[in-house]
Amino acid sequence: MCGIVAYIGHKEAYPIIIKGLQRLEYRGYDSAGVALISKGEINLYKKQGKVSELEAFTVGKNLAGAIGIGHTRWATHGAPNDRNAHPHFSGSSDLAIIHNGIIENYAALKSELIQRGHTFLSDTDTEVLIHLIEDIQAKTAVSLEEAVRVALNEVIGAYAIVIISKEDPDLLIAAKKSSPLVIGIGENDEYFIASDATPIVEYTKNVVYLNDEEIAVIKRGKELRLMNIKNQPKIPYIQELEMQLEAIEKGGFEHFMLKEIFEQPSSIRNSMRGRIDLNKGIVSLGGIREYKQKMINAERIIIVACGTSWHAGLVGEYLIEDLARIPVEVEYASEFRYRNPIINENDVVIAISQSGETADTLAAIKLAKEKGATIIGICNVVGSTISRATDAGSYTHAGPEIGVASTKAFTSQVTVLTLMALSLAQSKGTLSDSKFRQLLVELDSIPDKVEKMLQSDSKIEAIAALFRDARNFLYLGRGYNFPVALEGALKLKEISYIHAEGYPAAEMKHGPIALIDEHMPVVVIATKHGNYEKVVSNIEEVKARNGKIIAIVTKGDTAVKAIADYVIEVPESEDALSPLLTSIPLQLLSYHIAVMRGCNVDQPRNLAKSVTVE
Ligand code: AGP
């Protein structure tokens, strides 16, 4: 996510802002910038790259001023580069803005403003917002705060913004909706604004968390003033921060991984945002629109990926073949690139990568491209190498994933693959309209069901305590949940260092059943889908050999409850969407076992977040 920092007071703003941006680096970003007011001018400096690169860039420049704004950008609209970095000027350069969020109707606003003579320097939605504010002020001669209020009533989407004006060097205006914004109230008429408390806590513990659709007007020498976008005054509620710096970065969670597991209701929602319309019954993936026909006509779709992304690819295979009836093959990128595969120009390759920097996946793309295939990307990092190497793609918009073990990235990848499969199925007519709409409504309900699923965390933690010293685990699943069994095993392996294997449940009798005894915990995904009865008999086979069963079941299940040792319920769902739910308890089970074993959950031994080497 983007990071916001602003300051108004009696000290030099630049060092406070830069230090604040460094405090927000954990949020993940691709560019940084700062704007300061000095002697009636706004001096604005911004660059793609790290905060340290911005600092190097500003050496020798005018960094004076006791008021300023700073930003670290996590690209959503527009690739990471200097011109798309924040802050952004208005047309006259009298105003500057920083923004965290997504203006969903920015395209319509932008074309209107262009017709009114505005010209834009960047591809961002943020620049549109500051031009809209300037346009309103020019047309109606209202105050800046009123122009901001009117503009925010026209905006659809999420925002945390701070604006400065060279006409008034004693004024900061901030506003918030869905994206976080905190105001720190310092001594001697100092105010600090940031995306969270980490840049503020060293200066003051007195903070005001803005609520949705609230605007803050901070005028030097005056009291903080709040109102909502309906112009109703609001009383600032001043709280005292208890949390320490380290804890705040993790949003109060003990580890980034746990924070990211709990972010999944919103990250899955963000993967769908602006891409489904329940009323019209449509899925729209703008990023691949030009290549959709190519995908529909493909002789086959080849999915290339590594690790967790490969598991998401397996779910994608089941989804696309089941719903859109297009042949799909899933390949480990590291194998695909070296085995001299047969590829032709009628093939479509889908490359899945959270980081967008995985060397094997990039190499697989290059090979497929050389042989004439069409390349579609599903990445989380905007402007990453893989996303730029593809012909088209859809970003997952999961937000930065700091924990090395992939959690929200996996469910966001599966969400985008589900949208792709539904979109292809609808165009091919392989799904009835009623079935398509049923799946769309069900998909839209998944974030709320994940929220419910997360309430079982303490129960899962109690089960984890019973198995923290196990030496091996077996994970079994069928159909859509076979890839989830593989992913669950990987999660446990990579953070708790316990050996675990995922298997199709029916495969157990072809060998692994020899492993079963009272020391072998077996996690079975036994939701009421597909070959449910057969999974129940697999559980019986394990029980007969004294295996310990941890079953993931559909809420209200009784048959499995009667035979399993431990049961974790997930909400009822469509079979095709069940991986978005059944993967959650497996993430939590692995997390708690690893914590109980004293493992470094966020940075497991020997692992890197992005494997950019072969
Ligand atoms: C999964 O938890 C690991 N972090 C790892 O398997 C990862 O999924 C794999 O390295 C692929 O990374 P990518 O999605 O960034 O390409």
Ligand 1 neighbours, Cβ below 6 Å, are: 306-309, 353-355, 358, 361, 404-406, 494, 610-611
Would you call 234 exposed, middle or buried from its count of C-beta atoms within 10 A (0-12, 13-18, 19+)? middle
DSSP secondary structure string for all residues of 425-455? HHHHT-S-HHHHHHHHHHHHHHHHHHHHHHT
User: Going edge to edge, which strands form the sheet with 3-8?
Assistant: 41-48, 31-38, 67-73, 3-8, 191-194, 182-185, 206-209, 239-240
* Amino acid (one-letter) located at 236: P
Q: CB neighbours of 514 closer than 8 A, spacing ≥ 6?
A: none
Cα-to-centroid distance, 25 and ligand 1 (Å): 21
Question: What is residue 243's predicted lDDT score, i.e. its pLDDT?
Answer: 61
Question: What is residue 247's predicted lDDT score, i.e. its pLDDT?
Answer: 63
Pocket test for ligand 1, best of 310, 332, 358, 490 (most atoms within 8 A of CB): 358
Task: Pick the closest to residue 17 from 62, 74, 68 (CA basis).
Answer: 68
Judge whether 352 and 410 are in contact, CB under 8 Å: no
Angle at 403 between CA 400 and CA 409, to 5 degrees: 55
Atom of ligand 1 nearest to the CA of 405: 2
Would you call 322 exposed, middle or buried from its count of C-beta atoms within 10 A (0-12, 13-18, 19+)? middle
Judge whether 452 and 347 are in contact, CB under 8 Å: no
Pairing relationship of beta strands 31-38 and 67-73 according to DSSP bridges: antiparallel
List C-alpha distances in Å: 403 to 56, 494, 595.
29, 12, 14
Cα-to-centroid distance, 404 and ligand 1 (Å): 8
| Residue 498 φ/ψ, nearest 5 degrees | -90, 135
DSSP secondary structure string for all residues of 486-530? HHHHHHHHHHH--EEEEEEGGGGGGTGGGG-STT-EEEEEE-SSS
* 408-428 and 433-454 helices, crossing angle to 10°: 170
Cα-to-centroid distance, 60 and ligand 1 (Å): 41
Cα-to-centroid distance, 311 and ligand 1 (Å): 10
Atom of ligand 1 nearest to the CA of 609: 4
Residue at token pair 């719903």: 323
Determine whether 491 is an active site residue.
Answer: no
Cα-to-centroid distance, 607 and ligand 1 (Å): 10
Atom of ligand 1 nearest to the CA of 404: 4
Judge whether 419 and 413 are in contact, CB under 8 Å: no
List C-alpha distances in Å: 110 to 23, 106, 120, 122, 131.
33, 6, 9, 11, 9
| pTM for the structure as a whole | 0.76
Question: What is residue 248's predicted lDDT score, i.e. its pLDDT?
Answer: 65
Angle at 485 between CA 483 and CA 488, to 5 degrees: 110
Determine whether 609 is an active site residue.
Answer: yes
Q: List, run by run, the mean pLDDT of 10-residue segments along the chain (614 residues).
A: 93 97 85 97 96 96 98 86 97 97 92 97 96 97 97 94 97 93 94 92 92 96 95 93 69 92 96 92 92 95 98 98 98 96 96 93 96 96 84 92 94 98 96 96 98 96 97 97 98 98 94 93 95 94 94 96 96 97 98 97 84 72
Atom 9 of ligand 1, nearest CA residue? 307
